[in-house]
Amino acid sequence: MTGPSSKRRVVRYFCTAGNGMEMFVVEELKKKLEAEDVCHLPGKVIFSSSAGIDTIRKLKAAERLFLLLKQDSPLKLFPHTSPAKAAYLLQSKLLADMNEWTHTVMMWKCLQGELIDRETPECTPGTVVGVKRKREEASKGKEDREEKEKCDGVFIKTKEQRDEESRNGRVSDGQNGAETSKKKTKTSEEEKEDERVEMDEENTNSVRTTAGPDKTLLQPSRDKPEMPFPVSFRISCKCSGGLARYFSTQQVSQVMGSSLSRMLGWKVDLRNPQLEVNIYLSDDQCLLGIPLTRLPLANRNYIKTTGLRSTVAWAMASVAQIQPGFCVVDPMCGVGTILIEAAKEHEDACFLGMDIDEGQLQKANENVAFAELENRIQLLKASSMALPLQSASVDAVVCDLPFGRKFGTKTDMAANLPLILMEMERVLCVGGTLVLLLSPQLSSLLKKLQARDSIEPNSFQEMKPQTETQDCPSVVVSSTKQQTCKGHNIELSSTQGAEPQTGTHHSSRHFSSLRHDTTLRVSLGTIDGLIHKYVKTGNSFIK
């Protein structure tokens, strides 16, 4: 194992991020890893770090983590370049330095070994690329490894193995033994001729772009660098910009796959490779990397039922700037993703989640228990338009307002948005932070409401909820829960002891005390969301 962080090697990585999340990744890298040479591109962040791989893979804002293989200027192709010429230029640019490839693969193998030694849930078989084969190599000898490859139908013999068999006179049973004996009688000239024929067959048949089985046997080239261990691989490629007119992803995979097989003796395996080479080609640059984990970093092993994308939930908690001792409320918590991400990041804060949907609350309770955060996250059923909290009692409100697309909602968010916001403003203390995730439509509506409120401060007096007192359930708060939150300055109130949560009360105030701080657009997959941040500047309630 390597020594302390100060004596560790500096390794170059890159990670992918959703659109709009790049700056969150950059800030996290600098804060947690003290990363160097950090640069960000659309959807990607490149950095150097001497931190252990077990620390790096705990990044929260990144989607996937790669070992950087190559970063180069974009491939320039002139108009009317023939397909053969374009393939040659692509191969020349990406495979010019084969020592760079062998060195990176050796580094990848070393990092895989570190991941295995951690013996954490993320390192279970099937999670880390090549973990199963690595464990076998660490515990078994060369003969056991050969037997395992025979069972898999992939039997690759290196030059050293053939020489050892010749010296020891080992003979396999059945047909394999007969073939081995026959090979022993061949002269060196015949062996060269056989390898030449095999290489010709390899160039035409070894790389396939379909998902069917690939059982072509490969022999390492004698005049090219040999890997100290057999490598099975596949190519994943994404082309964009002008290069997409010259190459399809299948064409790039075929060119790179056949070249790597010929030059390094690697074995193509489209279904269960030891490593995967990811290639990103655009008009801006060429980027190559090897994934360090099979599952994305965004797949949290402490969340049972997923809701909001975990990276976005973490980003919202980051925008809230939660400090030790803060009490944080999510009045529409859903399955609790935001609360869990915030609680995992901020251990000295207290969290309270509410939702009107019993089904969502049940899933949230299961998630909180699964994450072992029952002592720090409290959940209760309540309406977001009538929060059972004293005024100015919480430090931060973080909420993902339902879009009505992934999770259906009976609430008309456009109609109830002013009432929901006024309740959030009421429970916030002066200087408190409000962070909202809104759809583009709700974001536009909120800007209009704010603009109208700044011109007509009492414009919301005309907006009265139709059935607010019916929607708000009777919340009975136990003394135990009051004591649990007391140390974090949360005061829960019942409907009898709290301020009246009625339409008349709402209509007598506005939320002009919320000062807009920033708006960030982030990708949620098929759609975008906008993160709004507000800071409460003073008491705006007009009795």
Query: Across residues 315-322, what is the average pLDDT?
Result: 97
User: Which of 141-145, 336-340, 416-420, 441-445 shows the lowest mean pLDDT across its residues?
Assistant: 141-145
What are the pLDDT digits (tens) for 269-315? 999 999 999 999 998 889 999 999 989 999 999 999 999 999 999 99
Q: CA-CA distance, 300 to 313, in Å (whole number)?
A: 12
Query: Across residues 372-396, what is the average pLDDT?
Result: 96
Query: Across residues 320-345, what is the average pLDDT?
Result: 97
pLDDT (0 to 100) of residue 449:
83
Query: Across residues 363-376, what is the average pLDDT?
Result: 96
The model's confidence at residue 413, banded by pLDDT at 50, 70 and 90, is: confident
* Whether the predicted pLDDT of 136 surpasses 80: no
99 or 218, which is more confident: 99
Query: Across residues 93-113, what is the average pLDDT?
Result: 91
pLDDT (0 to 100) of residue 343:
97
Query: Across residues 530-535, what is the average pLDDT?
Result: 96
Ramachandran assignment for 316, one of left (phi > 0), alpha (psi -120 to 50 degrees), beta (any other) = alpha
The model's confidence at residue 454, banded by pLDDT at 50, 70 and 90, is: low
User: How far, in Å, are 72, 88, 96, 268, 532 from residue 239 at the CA level?
Assistant: 15, 17, 20, 21, 34
Q: Are strands 232-239 and 275-281 parallel, antiparallel or unpaired?
A: parallel
User: How far, in Å, are 112, 300, 310, 329, 374 from residue 370 at the CA level?
Assistant: 28, 11, 15, 20, 9
Alpha helix positions (H), 222-357? 249-264, 310-320, 337-345
The segment with the largest mean pLDDT, out of 120-134, 176-190, 231-245, is 231-245
pLDDT (0 to 100) of residue 429:
96
pLDDT (0 to 100) of residue 539:
60
Q: 31: Cβ–Cβ under 8 A, 6 or more apart, which residues?
A: none
* Whether the predicted pLDDT of 157 surpasses 70: no
* Whether the predicted pLDDT of 3 surpasses 90: no
The model's confidence at residue 9, banded by pLDDT at 50, 70 and 90, is: confident
Dihedral through CA 483, CA 484, CA 486, CA 487, nearest 10?
A: 130
pLDDT (0 to 100) of residue 142:
46
Helix 337-345 vs helix 310-320: crossing angle, to nearest 10: 60
The model's confidence at residue 264, banded by pLDDT at 50, 70 and 90, is: confident
Q: Within 10 Å of residue 510's Cβ, how many Cβ atoms?
A: 26
Look up residue 321 and give its DSSP letter.
T
Tell me: domain 310-536, CATH 3.40.50.150, correct?
Answer: yes
pLDDT (0 to 100) of residue 498:
41
**Claim: this prediction has a pTM higher than 0.75:** no
Query: Across residues 214-242, what is the average pLDDT?
Result: 64
* Whether the predicted pLDDT of 440 surpasses 80: yes
The model's confidence at residue 78, banded by pLDDT at 50, 70 and 90, is: confident
pLDDT (0 to 100) of residue 372:
96
The model's confidence at residue 164, banded by pLDDT at 50, 70 and 90, is: low
Query: Across residues 114-126, what is the average pLDDT?
Result: 56
The segment with the largest mean pLDDT, out of 64-73, 160-169, 236-245, is 64-73
pLDDT (0 to 100) of residue 339:
98
Query: Across residues 360-382, what is the average pLDDT?
Result: 96
Average pLDDT along the chain: 76
26 or 135, which is more confident: 26
Query: Which run of H or of E encompasses 110?
Result: helix 98-118
pLDDT (0 to 100) of residue 246:
84
pLDDT (0 to 100) of residue 189:
47
Query: Which run of H or of E encompasses 146?
Result: helix 142-152
What are the pLDDT digits (tens) for 192-212? 445 444 444 444 333 333 333
Q: Where in the chain is CATH 3.40.50.150?
A: 310-536
Query: Across residues 413-423, what is the average pLDDT?
Result: 90
pLDDT (0 to 100) of residue 491:
57
Q: Which of 187, 190, 188, 264 is closest to 231 using CA atoms?
A: 264
pLDDT > 70 in the chain, percent: 64
User: Which of 96-110, 224-238, 283-297, 430-444 shows the lowest mean pLDDT across its residues?
Assistant: 224-238
Q: Within 10 Å of residue 204's Cβ, how many Cβ atoms?
A: 9
* Whether the predicted pLDDT of 38 surpasses 90: yes
User: Which of 8-12, 475-479, 511-515 shows the lowest mean pLDDT across its residues?
Assistant: 475-479
User: Which of 175-184, 239-248, 346-355, 434-443 shows the lowest mean pLDDT across its residues?
Assistant: 175-184
Query: Across residues 79-98, what is the average pLDDT?
Result: 88
pLDDT (0 to 100) of residue 411:
56
The model's confidence at residue 542, banded by pLDDT at 50, 70 and 90, is: very low
